[in-house]
Amino acid sequence: MNRRLVFVIFFLIIFLLLVSLRLSCQSDHERKIQQIEKRIKLLADSQSEYYKQLENVKYKWIQEQIKQYALPRIDEEGFLVYHSAMALFYVDRWGQSKWVVHMILPDIATGVETRTNDFRRDSLIPTDMPDRVDYFNSGYDRGHLAPSADFRWSRRALSESYYYSNMSPQKPEFNRGKWSQVEDFLRHYVIFTGHPIFIVTGGLLHDSIQKTIGVHKKIKVPPYFYKIAVDLNAKPARAIAFWMLNGTNTKPIVNYATSIDDIEQKTGIDFFYLLPDTLENRIETMNDISLWQTKETKGNVKPMEPEELPKGAINTVDAEKFIGSKAKVCGTVVATRTLKDAKGVVVNLDQRFPNALFSFTIWQNNIPNFSYEPATYLMNKKICISGIVEQYRGKPTMEARNEKAIEILVDEKNDDN
Angle at 215 between CA 92 and CA 166, to 5 degrees: 45
415 pLDDT higher than 60: no
pLDDT digit string (tens) for 94-139?
999 999 999 999 999 999 999 999 999 999 999 999 999 999 999 9
CA atoms of 245 and 254, how far apart (whole Å): 14
CA atoms of 119 and 134, how far apart (whole Å): 12
Average pLDDT estimate for 250-276: 97
Average pLDDT estimate for 346-368: 93
Q: What pLDDT is attached to residue 63?
A: 97
Q: How far apart are the first and last CA of the chain?
A: 128
Question: How does residue 349 score in pLDDT terms, banded at 50, 70 and 90?
Answer: very high
**Contact in structure between 333 and 380 (CB atoms under 8 Å):** yes
DSSP 8-class letter at 22: H
How many residues in the chain? 417
Choose among 198, 281, 185: nearest CA to 233: 198
